[in-house]
């Protein structure tokens, strides 16, 4: 299969252009914010002040071309039998977390040590679930309305991926995966009675996962009661509030945050939105939220323009994944939700998360390109039919007469 990066055969598409522009804006802004929020901590750790920024920039420089390459691959290929290969790779990587290659961070066993870098397999699993669910729903067709064609063929792969994340005690990732599956199936047309059952199981599973960790129970209890130890569980959230309050309307300026001076844990990751609010103020925070809302609108437009069932499920899954993750991250920083350890897409530090998110955007771009090509073909067919009739019904031109030779 040949992939042409700069082919002009596909007609221009507004949705694809808007999607690529928003993604590039968020990615570029995220790399800048990683530099601003991590420089102090890297210096204290004895590293170069720009070391984490350079890693994030490297992953961005890798992820953006990959997004463009994936956008040129026909979506039928990725949403076909190739989806099972992606699912198999994701499950193997998730299983390797429980081998000596895996390691824990803050009680969550969710990373692989590859020597030159680390990898979070659950991020790969998100992309794999989008393409696998799309393939399965398209394969089942109308039979998806029969629960027997949902529980095992679709429920089993989902249970494997979420179960492995659950065994690693990563509640935030489990919630994101659950939202991805629910959104993909809702956008894919799964009957509401089945969705209600899945939602009930998801809520029960989240409650069990939260109850299994004393630290999570304490965080949720303190959040619900409003009583929290400032120097204990509420240290991170309190300093997130202070950062937002200090930012005011216009912010203190890029690089001038004080919360990142070892006051705010995970300033470059889970709480990077607090640094955005401090350095760029309320207007900067609202601009970031507006970009995510614009991204949501474009994704819905692409979903509405997609006729292929597999493509509709995949776009719905990507939409649910990105929007739910952004909603939870910003909600935690604003104090609307308890701390769950969910990064902000495109902006938080993390190479595997950034690359896989850009790959998902490449998948959506490929679907958008296919939509544009199909709409273009239908337009040509509609405009070409009357022209053909007019040519046939018009007067025939006399054949040119040849002069007799002298």
What is the number of residues in the chain? 406
Inter-residue contact 162 to 121 (CB < 8 Å): no
Residue reference for tokens 């991926």: 161
- Measured between alpha carbons, how far is 368 from 283 in angstroms, rounded to an integer? 31
Whether residue 88 lies inside any domain: the answer is yes
**How many domains does the chain fold into?**
1
Instruction: Calculate mean pLDDT across residues 317-332.
Output: 95
313 or 190: which leads in pLDDT: 313
> Does residue 342 sit within a domain?
yes
Residue 3 in domain: no
Q: Which two tokens stand for residue 112?
A: 């692989």
Quote the pLDDT of residue 396.
46
Range of the structural domain that residue 153 is part of = 19-373
Number of H helices, E strands in the chain: 14, 3
327 pLDDT band (50/70/90 cuts)?
very high
Give the tokens for residue 224.
């619900």
Q: Confidence band (pLDDT; 50, 70, 90) for 125?
A: very high
Per-residue model confidence (pLDDT) at position 397: 47
Cβ(113)–Cβ(103) under 8 Å?
Answer: yes
> Among positive and negative, which fits the CA dihedral 266, 271, 274, 275?
positive
Lowest-pLDDT choice from 111-125, 190-204, 317-331: 190-204
Of these ranges, 115-124, 295-304, 369-378, the one predicted with the greatest mean pLDDT is 295-304
Map tokens 């991204």 to a residue: 295
Q: Which helix (H) or strand (E) holds 50?
A: none
Label residue 138 by pLDDT band (50, 70, 90). confident
**Quick count: other Cβ atoms within 10 Å of Cβ 190?**
21
Does any domain span residue 394? no
Q: Which of 125-139, 167-181, 379-393 has the lowest mean pLDDT?
A: 379-393
Give the pLDDT score at 234.
81
- Domain for residue 389, yes or no? no
* Assigned domain for 6 exists: no
> Per-residue pLDDT for 388 more than 50?
no
In a domain, 351, yes or no: yes
Residue 113 located in a structural domain: yes
């Amino acid at each position: 299969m040949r992939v042409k990066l700069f082919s002009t055969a596909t007609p221009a598409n507004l949705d694809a252009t808007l999607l690529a522009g928003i993604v590039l804006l968020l990615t570029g802004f995220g790399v800048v914010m990683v530099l601003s929020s991590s420089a102090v901590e890297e210096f204290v750790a004895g590293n170069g002040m720009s070391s984490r920024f350079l890693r994030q920039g490297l992953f961005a420089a890798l992820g953006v071309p990959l997004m463009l390459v994936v956008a040129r691959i026909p979506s039928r290929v990725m949403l076909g039998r190739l989806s099972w290969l992606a699912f198999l790779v994701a499950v193997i990587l998730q299983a390797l977390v429980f081998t000596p290659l895996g390691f824990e961070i803050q009680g969550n066993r969710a990373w692989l040590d590859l020597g030159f870098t680390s990898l979070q397999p659950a991020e790969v699993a998100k992309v794999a679930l989008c393409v696998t669910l799309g393939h399965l729903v398209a394969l089942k067709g109308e039979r998806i309305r029969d629960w027997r064609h949902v529980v095992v063929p679709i429920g089993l792969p989902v249970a494997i991926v979420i179960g492995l994340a659950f065994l690693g005690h990563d509640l935030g990732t489990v919630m994101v995966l659950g939202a991805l599956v629910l959104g993909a199936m809702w956008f894919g047309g799964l009957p509401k009675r089945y969705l209600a059952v899945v939602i009930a199981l998801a809520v029960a599973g989240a409650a069990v996962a939260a109850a299994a960790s004393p630290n999570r129970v304490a965080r949720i209890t303190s959040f619900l009661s409003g009583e929290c130890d400032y120097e204990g569980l509420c240290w991170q959230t309190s300093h997130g509030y202070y950062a937002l309050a200090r930012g005011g309307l216009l912010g203190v300026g890029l690089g001038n945050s004080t919360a990142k001076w070892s006051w705010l844990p995970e300033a470059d990751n889970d709480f990077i939105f607090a640094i955005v609010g401090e350095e760029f103020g309320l207007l900067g925070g609202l601009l970031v939220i507006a970009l995510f809302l614009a991204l949501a609108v474009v994704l819905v437009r692409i979903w509405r323009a997609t006729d292929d069932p597999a493509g509709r499920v995949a776009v719905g899954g990507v939409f649910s994944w990105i929007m739910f993750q952004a909603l939870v991250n910003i909600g935690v920083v604003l104090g609307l939700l308890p701390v769950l350890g969910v990064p902000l897409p495109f902006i938080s530090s993390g190479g595997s998360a950034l690359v896989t998110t850009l790959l998902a955007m490449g998948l959506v771009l490929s679907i958008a390109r296919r939509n544009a090509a199909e709409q273009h073909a239908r337009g040509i067919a509609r405009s070409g039919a009357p022209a053909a009739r007019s040519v046939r019904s018009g007067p025939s031109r006399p054949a040119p007469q040849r002069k007799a030779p002298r």
